[in-house]
Amino acid sequence: MKAAMERARRLIGRLSAAIQTIFGLPNYGAYLEWHATFHPGEAPLSRRAFYDRHLKDRYGRGGLRRCC
């Protein structure tokens, strides 16, 4: 039973990451791994600050960036 629950959690995590990628949302887990590798000893951004920065970078420069 525990193994099935763990497989379900992993599947949900992968589906969530795929959906976020489709909609252009950043992956906080990947950011944490990157931050730990390249900035050990420094505190990473909180989840909220991470997403706020992403939204500002994406939409804060005078509107949407798109081809059409």
Q: What burial letters (b/e) apply to 2-13, b meaning 16+ CB within 10 Å?
A: eeeeeeeeeeee
Can you give the pTM of this predicted structure? 0.61
Q: What are the sequence ranges of the domains in the chain?
A: 2-59
CA 36, CA 48: separation in Å to the nearest integer?
Answer: 18
Q: What is the mean pLDDT of residues 30-37?
A: 93
pLDDT given at position 33? 93
How do residues 3-25 score in pLDDT, each as one tens digit? Answer: 999 999 999 988 988 888 888 78
